[in-house]
């Protein structure tokens, strides 16, 4: 792929490995939520590719909704202050919620979202994240379904971006500044 001037990309998690792991997660989620009213909630914008693939890998009737939150702005570091930019379109009363996130690093944003959703009448709230940067964690959040643990590096692709670029990459890549 063409890159911005002064940037080079190196594959950290291949599209093949992502596809395999998403299929495994889909099977586990299917078994765990069999007979339950499941709602996947994607956290925009980063989760849009992951939630689409994950929803297709889950062999159950389910609903999908989205939230957009802001804690980064145009920065690469979370401010820790979470603001809901787009709220859910439907009630969670009596539903089992699976929050689908692209990456968990500090845990600050996801901790806020998790608490917020638990207070909205859901039967249960669990978290599924494609990527986990354990070394960056500041707040413990329960990740029930995890794709990959990654090192503390800035990554793009498969929905993740830098200044809105590279979301369309099929792999998760580290950005190397030259």
The order of strands in the sheet holding 172-177 is 7-13, 172-177, 155-156
How far, rounded to the nearest angstrom, does the alpha carbon of residue 36 sit from its chain's CA centroid?
22
**48-57 vs 15-32: helix crossing angle, rounded to 10:** 50
Which residue in the list 53, 102, 105, 171 is annotated as catalytic?
105
Mark residue 56 as left, alpha or beta (left: phi above 0; alpha: psi -120 to 50; beta: remaining). alpha
89 is catalytic: no
CA-wise closest residue to 38 among 29, 28, 46: 29
Please give the positions annotated as active site.
Answer: 105
């Amino acid at each position: 792929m063409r890159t911005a001037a002064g940037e080079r990309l190196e594959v950290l998690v291949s599209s093949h490995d992502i596809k395999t792991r998403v299929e495994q997660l889909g099977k586990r989620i299917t078994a765990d939520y069999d007979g339950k009213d499941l709602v996947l909630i994607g956290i925009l914008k980063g989760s849009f590719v992951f939630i689409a693939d994950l929803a297709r890998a889950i062999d159950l009737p389910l609903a999908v909704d989205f939230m957009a939150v802001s804690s980064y702005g145009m920065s690469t570091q979370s401010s820790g202050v979470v603001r809901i930019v787009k709220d859910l379109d439907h009630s969670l009363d009596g539903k089992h919620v699976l929050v689908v996130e692209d990456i968990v690093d500090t845990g600050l944003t996801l901790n806020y979202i998790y608490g917020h959703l638990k207070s909205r009448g859901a039967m249960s709230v669990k978290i599924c994240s494609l990527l986990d940067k354990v070394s960056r964690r500041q707040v413990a959040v329960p990740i029930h379904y995890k794709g990959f643990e990654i090192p503390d590096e800035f990554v793009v692709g498969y929905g993740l971006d830098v200044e809105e670029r590279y979301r369309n990459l099929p792999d998760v890549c580290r950005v190397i500044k030259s």
